[in-house]
Structure 1
C-alpha cells in the first residue's frame, strides 16, 4: 500500500518546511545557534532541539531521562515541562552535533512517512500521550514545524516561505480557532460578524459570523456591515495568533474599523496557540 492521497499534502508540506530548516541552520556558526527567537526563553538551538525531540517521539524513540534545572522561569505547567526536556538536554550541543542529529532525524522520519499505509482517520498516539487521528497528527506537525521555521527565519533575518505549502496548511490550522475566539472568548453578540482581511505573501479574507445561539462559524464570503474589520499583513497575523508578539507592539501593523471594544476583546484573546 502507498500513502493515502489525503495525507500526501501534509507529508509534502512537512518535508518542504523541515528541509528548509535544515538548509537554513546547516551553515550557521556556533554563535548563531544562541540567537534568541520570538519563543520566550528559546534560542535558535532550542527551537531546533524542540523539532528534533518531537519528531523522535513520533519515531518511537524513548523519552530522554533528564531532570530540568529548577531556575527555568518559563516552566509553569506539566505540558511545558514535557516540552522542555528534549530542549534542555541539547542546550550544550555543538553546531555539528545539532546539524547531524537534525539531518539524521529527517532521514528517519521521511522514511517512516513514505511507508505510511494507515487511513487518515486511524487512531494514533498523540505527542505527550492520548489518542489523535493520523490526519490531525500530521497537520499539527506541519503547523508546528512551519511556525518554528518562521521563528528561525526572523531570528536569523532570513525571511522566506511565507506562502509555501506549509504556510497554507498553517493558515487553515489557525483559522479553525477564529470562531471560538470571536464568539466565546471575545463575546461577540449574536448576529454580528467580524472580518479578517489579510494581505501580503498569503492573501485571504475570512468572516466569522455569530449565529443566534452565540456560536461562531467562518467562511470566505464578504460581510455587509461587519461589527469589526481587521486589516493586517500575514506575518503579523501569524505572530499574533501564535502568541509571538503582543497586540500593542504591532498596533501600527493592524488597521481596525468598527466596534473598538469588541476589537480590543478579540485582540486580548488572539493568542490561540503558544
Structure 2
C-alpha cells in the first residue's frame, strides 16, 4: 500500500498554494493525498478564503477550509485520490503524527499568523524539525506547481556523511521522476588559522580542503545508479550561504536532518534551519536516524 502525501492547510493563501504543489507531487508519485486541517479553533480567522466562499470569516468553519482545499486539489489533479481531514488538535502535533504514516508532509512557508514571507512560520519549522518523514516547505516562488519546474533541476546539499544518506536517495528519486538533472553540492572552507603568507604555500591548505570536499561528495554518491543524471560541484564558502545562493536556480532544494535516537524535541541542524528561512525555492528536509553516542 502506497503511503499518502500529507498537506497541511489553514485557509491562508500560502497553504492553498501548498495544496496545488502537493497535488502535483501526489500525481507525480502516484500516491493518495491527505488534506489536513488541524486547529483548536473551530472557526477560520482570515480574509482570502472567506472571499472565495462568499462568507464573513467568522462564519467559515474548519470543514469549509478543508473541503475547499480538497476540491481545489481535485480540480487540479482529478486522477489523485484526495481525503479531507479535520482534527481538533495543535497543527504541529498533528502534522508530525500524520508524518509517521506518510510518504512526505507538505506545508506552506507561513500561515495565518501574518509572519513576513521571508521568514518561516512556527508550524513549518516545528514539523520539519521533528517529523519522521521528509517535510517539504514551500518557500520562494514555486508558481504553485511541482512540475514542470521553472529551472529544470533539483539541488542537493551534501553534508559530512561518508556514504549515501536518505537525503541523497530522496533527491535522486525526485530528479528522476521529473526528468531533470540533480546538482549535488558540497561546500567547503579553509579555516583562517591554516592560511599562510608564504608564496610557495599560499594555495596548499585550500587545495587540501577542496580535495576532501570532492572525496566526501563522491562517497555520498556511491550508491547512486549509474544512469542517473547527477552533476557534482564543490563550492568554497559557508554551506548555508552557498546553498541559499544556488537555490535561486533550482526547483527544489534537498537537505538532510539527523534525528538522534533517544533525543526529543527539535532536531534540525544549523544549515537546514537557515535554508528554511532563506531559500529561494521549496526545501525538502529529509530525516536521517542516527544512533546516540
TM-score, normalising length from structure 1? 0.27
Higher helix fraction: Structure 1 or Structure 2?
1
